[in-house]
Amino acid sequence: MPETVFVLNGPNLNLLGTREPEIYGSATLDDIAGILEDRARELHLEVDVRQSNHEGHLVDWLHEAQAIGARAVLLNAGAYTHTSVAIHDAIKAIRTPVIEVHLSNPHTREEFRHQSYVGMAAKGTVAGFGAASYLVALEAVIRL
Ligand code: DQA
């Protein structure tokens, strides 16, 4: 049985493809999921890609990752990255390694995006490579 990597996506990422494409690119979340599924197969892993606009769902899924023994979590918490102490605490509460992912590079954007409650608790961060950020993060999982 291949080990599972959770790929958790937060608010507004369901609109990828049409949402500010000059910042986030033209790939949809389904496109990204397809790319990750193909690469995961080659790495003898399985990805479980989810999206929610609700903070508590992300907290519950982080707990679930540990409960099912997931190998790792790739987490793009969207705007909750910059606001959510609950998600920060959930990352700290589990032993499952969490890799923070962003399509854009928040550090080159508005100041309110420079603080990351996710990054402060995560194993590492991949940001700024568009959809490829997820792929780079998946490659990092096998090196953990
Ligand atoms: C994002 C960056 C966040 O600042 C923003 O709120 C998002 C997307 C990214 O992937 O670049 O929703 O997480």
Tell me: the pLDDT tens digits for 23-67?
999 999 999 999 999 999 999 999 999 999 999 999 999 999 999
Question: Under a CB-based contact definition with an 8 Å cutoff, are residues 100 and 75 in contact?
Answer: yes
pLDDT at residue 118, rounded to an integer: 98
The SS3 of residue 101 is strand
Average pLDDT, the chain: 98
Alpha carbon distance 119, 117 (integer Å): 6
Nearest CA owner, ligand 1 atom 13: 78
Question: Under a CB-based contact definition with an 8 Å cutoff, are residues 35 and 19 in contact?
Answer: no
Active-site residue, 114 included: no
Structural domain range at position 49: 3-141
As for how many domains the chain has, the answer is 1
Residue 1 binned pLDDT confidence (cut-offs 50, 70, 90): confident
pLDDT at residue 114, rounded to an integer: 98
Q: Cα(136) to centroid of ligand 1, in Å?
A: 17
pLDDT at residue 100, rounded to an integer: 98
Active-site residue, 82 included: no
Does 102 score more than 90 pLDDT? yes
pTM score, whole prediction: 0.98
Element containing residue 43 per DSSP (H, E)? none
Nearest CA owner, ligand 1 atom 2: 78
Say which residue the tokens 């707990």 belong to: 63
Does 128 score more than 90 pLDDT? yes
% of the chain with per-residue pLDDT over 90: 99
Residue 66: CATH number of its domain: 3.40.50.9100
